[in-house]
Amino acid sequence: MANNIRTFLDELESSGELKRVSEKVSTRFEVSRLMMENDGGSALFFDNLRDHETHLVSGLCGTKKRLARALGKGEDQIYQTINHAISNPVEPKVVSDGPVKENIEPPKLTKIPILVHYEKDPGPYITAGIVTARNAEDNIENVSIHRMLVLNDNHFTLRIVPRHLYALCQMAKSRGDDSLDIGVAIGLRPPIMIAAASHAPFGVSEYAVANAMMDGQLTLTEIGSSGLRVPSEAELVFEAKILLNKEVDEGPFVDLTGTYDIVRKQPLVEVTKVYHRTGYIYQALLPSGSEHRILMGLPFEAKIYDAVRGVVPNVKAANLTVGGSGWLHAVISIEKQTEGDGKNALMAAFGAHPSLKHAVVVDSDIDVANPHEVEWAIATRFQADKGLIIIQNARGSTLDPSADQHNGTTTKVGVDATRTLSKPVEKFMRAKIPN
């Protein structure tokens, strides 16, 4: 498996999964409009951007088929591949140089083709960048994906939720530091993006997770004086500092639900240096599009699948649904063995994905990706007095506009739509017409 985005683009083009857009388009609304019109289709390569000489690519993670290709696996092996890599990380090789260091320049973010996607966006947003941070004292490295609002040539702000990067910021503050060094890498093969979205345990580097998925082919290189590591074959890298005591408004941003998230005070980030390949390719994803949903949701589908498998021996599939924005709704199919398996599966799913709001468990004959079959299972196999779970004031997702978006609480609902074992299975099967 190659280490860079360019070989993957060649693979996609040779298989007919890459569409080139040659018409001159603006990074303000026009690129995002074409991305939306093509959502869930081929990856897009824009080679004629107005006011920019660089190229832009989107949609590399836009379908599960494409992700499976990037992993070198079948679609039915994606969950196992992700979970195995998290449990068996492989430390990447570190090299002194790499293509990303071909050009090193002072920052000028306004010269990069960063997109303005929607009408109420406060400015250009970086949407496909990964952030690397580390605590050298405890040898803790974290790699995560964050949305980044560009403010000027050398400043941006980013949304930090209370997870691992937030913890590293708090650790830096407790030491009396007023900043935290970070690296931002853009233009990466999908396994690195999947790993950055995977939420590996704190202390496990997502680079090691990515390297496990890439058969040991990932190479890193150090930037700056703090020993920060970034992919050596990234297209573009920022060397930057999170200013821990300076905050600015971040948002509104269109997130997974297709609605605007609220405006919050978030840390100011100062960019000190930019590294890039000659003729770099800028990578972007459409907020709330299929690539956004799959990239964010797929690692949690894998977590849900694994968690449910821990309480119910036979799990067929898990799906974070399109209608649930790839985040808030899950459907899980199981081979039910005893009464109560469905509820145990529901509780395991909620535990595996704290942002999950509604979950449905169905039998293995139901296609979790087919909403008509799922609704039919609810109609014919669910009784609310026996199969309904309601959990009030639970931690949910701040992306849900109906939730308390300030403290992140919501009401969760679980639906056990598996057939009861007290009646013959034939009563719940669809009628067939013989050949």
pLDDT, position 1: 53
The predicted-structure confidence for 282-298, as pLDDT tens digits, reads as follows 999 999 999 999 999 99
Counting every residue written for the chain, the total comes to: 435
DSSP one-letter code for 97: -
The 8-class DSSP code of residue 349 comes to H
What domains are defined for the chain? 5-290 (2.30.110.10), 310-424 (3.40.1670.10)
* Residues with a known catalytic role: 255
Other C-beta atoms closer than 10 Å to the C-beta of 48 total 13
**How confident is the model at residue 136, as a pLDDT?**
82
Q: How confident is the model at residue 91 (pLDDT cuts 50, 70, 90)?
A: very high
pLDDT band at 224 (very low <50, low <70, confident <90, very high): confident
**pLDDT of 122 strictly over 70:** yes
Residues 388, 95: Cα–Cα separation, whole Å: 55
Instruction: For residues 409 and 394, give the distance between their C-alpha atoms in angstroms, rounded to a whole number.
Output: 5
Nearest Cα neighbor of 217 from 208, 227, 206 is 208
Is there a contact between 332 and 318 (Cβ–Cβ < 8 Å)? yes
Q: Strands 179-186 and 129-135: what pairing?
A: antiparallel
Distance CA 330, CA 373 (A): 14
pLDDT digits (tens, 9 = 90+) for 343-388: 999 999 999 999 999 999 999 999 999 999 999 999 999 999 999 9
pLDDT category, 335, cuts 50, 70, 90? Answer: very high
Q: For position 404, what pLDDT does the model report?
A: 87
Whether residue 2 has pLDDT greater than 70: no
Q: How far apart are CA 134 and CA 206, in angstroms?
A: 12
Q: Is 322 helix (H, G, I), strand (E, B) or coil?
A: coil
Average pLDDT, the chain: 95
Measured torsion, CA atoms of residues 78, 165, 262, 148, in degrees rounded to the nearest 10: -80
Work out the average pLDDT over 227-252: 96
What is the tens place of the pLDDT at every residue in 387-409?
Answer: 999 999 999 988 888 998 888 89
Which pLDDT tens digit goes with each residue over 124-173?
999 999 999 999 888 899 999 999 999 999 999 999 988 999 999 999 99
Lookup result for tokens 């990706």 = 369
pLDDT of residue 226 exceeding 90, the answer is no
pLDDT at 293: 93
Q: Which amino acid is at 41?
A: G
Q: Give the residue-averaged pLDDT of 112-132.
A: 97
